[in-house]
Amino acid sequence: MVQAFQTTSDLQKESGRLTKEFQIEKSTASLEETMLAGVKSNVAFQATLQVRNRVVQAYTDIMNMQV
């Protein structure tokens, strides 16, 4: 789980870096590269968010079980 968070964080940082670099006039980052990094970042974030939601739901279900 920690590795998934780290990967998502790295993808978001890379997307932010490319976005800033693309905004500079003499940029080396292409539009396609920047957009692809943004999409990868978004997909990773959404996947991580869904996993977190499922873990929280499972924890809630277990806590509500009667013994």
pLDDT level of residue 9 (50, 70, 90 thresholds): very high
Range with top average pLDDT, 2-6, 26-30, 38-42: 38-42
Position 37 scores a pLDDT of 95
pLDDT at 56 over 80: yes
Please compute the mean of the pLDDT values over residues 55-59 and round it to a whole number: 96
Q: Which residue carries 């869904």 as its tokens? A: 50
Residues 29-45 have pLDDT tens digits of: 888 999 999 999 999 99
pTM of the model: 0.79
Number of residues that this document lists for the chain: 67
Longest CA–CA separation in the chain, Å: 65
The separation between the first and the last C-alpha atoms of the chain, rounded to the nearest angstrom, is 29
